[in-house]
């Protein structure tokens, strides 16, 4: 098989720009995976550096460069970007297609996730949060990740796609392999498994459409009144599956970890349960400080950028956590200011590929916090449990989060 998008040997990389860094590897004793990134800044690494790990890739560490990586799709493509490289890789619609071709599915999906559309989901989101919390609220403790954070966004996905709740364990396992594995064979099989599930789902929705997102995608028609190409339909489903599950799960975990250790923050949110504007402003700050995603781009052609030679198919990682704590952009960037009014964080990306589901993600976090604090106003980390294991990669997070109240 011919591999078209593999990075070239790093012969073009100056030795002074090479840093020994593996973003999947968390050193022993590190309890916050984001620290592997901020440790780079403390070490004084170059603002743009290259690491030979995971197939070899560049890392941008500066807010302006990360934003440029998001905006300038003529150099920094979203097409065939995975790190470590794998071919063939799904062309996720519309995220994995550059403008203007990405507009077709972007326009199809956008109305489903507008603020108005998401407000129509609030009652369902509230009932889901209450139902999960009811299962453990009277027990005095839980593993927040396995009992709530993993189930909530995945269950919401199943609902939005018109799938049975009984399939929750299956989808949790598929997402876990997709985001955690670095084994090429396991990753390739996982992608095949996800597509097999989507094939069955969309064929069923094609025959028996309902009032759900999967039905809306498969029954949509192009400008000529024809169904969109079947592979594009599957690719769109693939994006919606992988994009909103693990990121929301681990953002929730980061936020609850902060709340469990910060009584004044819990009080801040409790006092604003009926003030949605102030509540959302504070949540934006938690999205800034707790950005869990590290997104990938691929160089489209040989080019010089900031005096550095990039070769076609070089990979670049855009770590949002570094952009969101750039002192040139954010005042006192490592402090959590729940009243911060100017908050140009890049947690949901920037430019043409900004996350189309950002309003849903924010609402999931907001509803979760509101329902939790009404039922469990005070809680803390379980003092009898050791620190959780953590993981890096494209989405960072914790293996568990034991809470007591």
- Count CB atoms within 10 A of the CB of residue 185: 8
Distance CA 149, CA 129 (A): 10
**Bond from prior residue into 88 cis (ω within 30 degrees of 0):** yes
Is 5 a domain residue? no
Query: In whole angstroms, what separates CA 32 from the centre of its chain?
Result: 17
Q: Which residue has tokens 């990682």?
A: 317
Following DSSP, what letter does each residue of 267-314 receive, concatenated?
HHHHTTTT-HHHHHHHHHHHHHHT--BEEEEEE-S-EEETTEEE-TT-
| Residue 21 Cα distances to 56, 159, 325, 347, angstroms | 10, 40, 20, 22
Task: Provide the domain limits for residue 231.
Answer: 10-404
Looking at residue 104, its pLDDT comes to: 84
pTM of the model: 0.93
Looking at residue 190, its pLDDT comes to: 87
Q: How many domains does the chain have?
A: 1
Looking at residue 140, its pLDDT comes to: 97
Looking at residue 178, its pLDDT comes to: 79
Is 2 a domain residue? no
Is 190 a domain residue? yes
- Residue 106: which CATH number? 1.10.630.10
| Token duo for residue 255 | 């936020």
| Token duo for residue 365 | 């976090």
Is 214 a domain residue? yes
Enumerate the β-bridge partners of residue 18: 50
Is 53 a domain residue? yes
Looking at residue 1, its pLDDT comes to: 55
Contact 262, 270 (CB under 8 A): no
Distance CA 59, CA 390 (A): 21
Looking at residue 101, its pLDDT comes to: 86
| Token duo for residue 374 | 């009404």
Residues of the chain with pLDDT under 70: 1-2, 182, 244
Residue-wise pLDDT for 209-249, tens only, equals: 999 999 999 999 988 999 999 999 998 888 888 776 788 99
Is 34 a domain residue? yes
Looking at residue 243, its pLDDT comes to: 75
Is 3 a domain residue? no
Is 4 a domain residue? no
Closest listed residue to residue 235, CA positions, set 25, 90, 95 = 90
Looking at residue 177, its pLDDT comes to: 83
């Amino acid at each position: 098989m011919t591999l078209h998008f593999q990075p070239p040997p790093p012969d073009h990389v100056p030795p002074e720009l090479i840093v020994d860094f593996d973003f999947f590897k968390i050193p022993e004793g590190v309890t916050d995976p984001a620290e592997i990134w901020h440790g780079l800044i403390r070490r004084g690494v170059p603002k743009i550096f290259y690491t030979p790990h995971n197939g070899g890739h560049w890392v941008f560490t500066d807010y302006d460069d990360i934003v440029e990586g998001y905006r300038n799709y003529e150099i920094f493509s979203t097409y065939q970007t995975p790190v470590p490289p794998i071919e063939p890789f799904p062309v996720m619609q519309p995220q994995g297609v550059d403008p203007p071709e990405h507009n077709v599915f972007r326009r199809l999906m956008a109305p489903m996730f507008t603020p108005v559309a998401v407000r129509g989901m609030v009652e369902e989101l509230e009932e889901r949060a209450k139902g999960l919390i009811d299962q453990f609220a009277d027990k005095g403790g839980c593993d927040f990740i396995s009992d709530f954070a993993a189930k909530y966004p995945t269950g919401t996905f199943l609902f939005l796609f018109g799938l049975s709740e009984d399939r929750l364990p299956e989808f949790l396992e598929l997402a876990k392999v997709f985001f955690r594995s670095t084994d090429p064979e396991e990753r390739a099989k996982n992608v095949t498994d996800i597509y097999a599930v989507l094939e069955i789902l969309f064929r069923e929705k094609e025959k028996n459409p309902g009032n759900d997102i999967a039905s809306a995608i498969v029954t949509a028609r192009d400008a000529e009144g024809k169904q969109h190409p079947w592979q594009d339909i599957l690719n769109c489903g693939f994006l919606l599956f992988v994009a909103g599950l693990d990121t929301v799960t681990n953002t929730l975990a980061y936020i609850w970890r902060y709340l469990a250790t910060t009584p004044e923050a819990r009080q801040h949110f409790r006092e604003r349960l009926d003030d949605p504007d102030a509540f959302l402003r504070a949540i934006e700050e938690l999205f800034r400080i707790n950005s869990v995603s590290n997104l990938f781009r691929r160089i489209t052609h040989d080019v010089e950028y900031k005096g550095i030679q990039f070769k076609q198919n070089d990979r670049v990682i855009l770590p949002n956590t570094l952009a969101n704590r750039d002192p040139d952009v954010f005042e006192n960037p490592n402090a959590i200011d729940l009243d911060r009014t100017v908050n140009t964080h890049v947690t949901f990306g920037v430019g043409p590929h900004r996350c189309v589901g950002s309003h849903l993600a924010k609402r999931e976090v907001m509803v979760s916090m509101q329902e939790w604090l009404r039922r469990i106003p005070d809680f803390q980390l379980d003092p009898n449990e050791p620190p959780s294991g953590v993981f890096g990669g494209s989405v960072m997070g914790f293996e568990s989060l034991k809470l007591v109240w």
